[in-house]
Amino acid sequence: MFASRLDRARALMADQSVDVLMLSVGADLPYFCGYEAMPLERLTMLVVPRDGEATLVVPRMEAPRVVERPEVFGMRPWDETEDPVDIVTRLAGSASVAAVGDHMWSRFLVELMGAMPDAVWRRGSDVTAPIRSVKTADEIERLRAAAAAVDRIAGRLQRGEIELLGLTEAEVSAELGRQILAEGHDRVNFAIVAAGANAASPHHEPGPRIVGPDEVVLCDFGGTMVGDDGVGYCSDITRCVYTGEPPSEFDELYGVLFEAQAAGVAAAAAGTPAQDVDRAARSIIAAAGYGDYFVHRTGHGIGTEAHEDPYIVEGNDQPLAAGNAFSVEPGIYVPGRWGARLEDIVAISPAGPDPLNRADHHLAVVA
Ligand code: ZN
Ligand code: ZN
Ligand code: ZN
């Protein structure tokens, strides 16, 4: 699997005249070699010349953590007194176009630019995103398993089995985090809990506010499930509940959101420009008069990273392809008052949209 991914990367490098691909911290490295770099100041880097063997340059003290795959990459552990940038530069040889992973520390890129003064630098995602964004059947099943896990948590939330009233947002968030791990994830990526007016802030940081009666509670949570091969896949879901009978005004707002989200999902088909999914959802929200309250794109790709290509946003006219997986998550945010978002992960199958999240989409009343 890793070898065939690198083969595809080399084919794209040839298309784009990239001589060497350098991957460091971030999701590219485990995707292409099964090893995730510690986010440290010591350099870890997979150096992939277009026409040569890939080499993992790794601090010697981290080398024992690497599952060696000689058919995929060679190892070059470096000692504390060696200069890893010099090692990478020599492995890159006479490369004149280098693509570097988007999450590489800038300190290493700055040093590499100094050591390879004539090279042209490109974003690693130019090479990696077209590969990572088209999932195999196995990857879709891993995303489906992660989605099913957070669906079970959403179900408990909607049935009132997760305590809300009298707890702080931060306490509810911590409980969601515990359940994310208990449901088989290896990492919690986020657990937004936003009550009442806080729900008008899309990326609200859960805090000391206590959840009271008769208010909306927006929960957006997800984690990463790491497989035996060292590659992790992410979940991401948003559901809202109301701690009491919602006023008709909120019911109406949520009804619009419900329709918009369903329209976005229904539009998610192979060949459709990504922006058309955004338009399908946004046009319903705009027609209902809430257009100014939908302040973000409709979605983001998901896979080994919680946010990756393709982005479901106006201006992205790239046609969607079978194997893409992304969120459809419109929201309506009325500052100072309340807000709501409804989010599923949707994969594109040749037959059309394949929603991976199945938790109920209605506004649940919990009291
Ligand atoms: Zn978000
Ligand atoms: Zn989310
Ligand atoms: Zn999301």
Q: What is the pLDDT of residues 111-170, one digit of tens each?
A: 999 999 999 999 999 999 999 999 999 999 999 999 999 999 999 999 999 999 999 999
The pLDDT of residue 151: 98
Look up residue 227 and give its amino acid: G
pLDDT digits 0-9 by tens, 58-98: 999 999 999 999 999 999 999 999 999 999 999 999 999 99
Give pLDDT, residue 43. Answer: 96
Q: How far is the CA of 325 from the centre of ligand 2 (A)?
A: 14
Distance 69 CA to ligand 3 centre (A): 33
**CA–centroid distance, residue 288 to ligand 3 (Å):** 23
Nearest listed ligand to the Cα of residue 191: 2
For the CA of 239, the nearest ligand = 2
- How far apart are the CA of 90 and the centre of ligand 1, in A? 40
The rounded Å distance from CA 300 to ligand 3 centre is 6
On whether the CB atoms of residues 330 and 125 are closer than 8 A, the answer is: no
- Closest ligand to residue 237's CA: 2
What is the end-to-end Cα distance of the chain in Å, rounded?
49
Ligand closest in space to the Cα of 220:
2
d(CA 297, CA 317) in angstroms, rounded, equals: 14
From the CA of 221, how far away is ligand 2's center (Å)? 6
Q: How far, in Å, from the CA of 293 to the mean position of ligand 2? A: 18
- The Å distance, Cα 234 to ligand 3 centre, comes to 10
Q: Distance, CA 18 to ligand 1 centroid (Å)?
A: 32
Residue recorded with tokens 């340059």: 57
Of all ligands present, the nearest one to the C-alpha of 299 is: 3
Q: Residue 38 pLDDT > 90, yes or no?
A: no
Task: Quote the pTM value.
Answer: 0.94
For residue 80, report the distance from its CA to the centre of ligand 3, in Å.
40
Q: For residue 219, report the distance from its CA to the centre of ligand 2, in Å.
A: 8
Task: Report which bound ligand comes closest to the CA of 190.
Answer: 2
Residue 328 CA to ligand 2 center (angstroms) comes to: 9
pLDDT-based confidence at 204, cuts 50/70/90? very high
pLDDT at site 111: 96
Average pLDDT for the chain: 97
Q: What is the pLDDT of residue 159?
A: 98
Question: What's the gap in Å between 48 CA and the centre of ligand 3?
Answer: 31
Q: 204 C-alpha to center of ligand 3: Å? A: 13
Handedness of CA 188, 193, 198, 201 (dihedral sign): positive
Q: Please return the burial class of 9, using the count of CB atoms within 10 Å of its CB with bins 0-12, 13-18 and 19+.
A: buried
Residue 40 has pLDDT above 90, yes or no: no
- Has residue 367 got a pLDDT over 90? no
> How many C-beta atoms lie closer than 10 Å to residue 84's C-beta?
19
- Give the distance (Å) from ligand 3 centre to CA of residue 306: 7
Distance 288 CA to ligand 2 centre (A): 24
**What pLDDT is recorded for position 354?**
98
Read off the pLDDT of residues 264-322 as tens digits, 9 standing for 90 and up. Answer: 999 999 999 999 999 999 999 999 999 999 999 999 999 999 999 999 999 999 999 99
Cα Rg of the chain (Å, integer): 22
**Ligand 2 center–CA 18 separation, angstroms:** 34
Which pLDDT score, from 0 to 100, does residue 295 have? 97
* Distance from the alpha carbon of residue 202 to the mean position of ligand 1, in angstroms: 7
Rounded to the nearest angstrom, the distance between the alpha carbon of 203 and the centre of ligand 1 is: 6
Peptide bond into 310 cis (omega under 30): yes
Longest dimension (CA), the chain: 68
Q: How far is the CA of 258 from the centre of ligand 3 (A)?
A: 16
The CA distance from 193 to 329, in Å, is 16
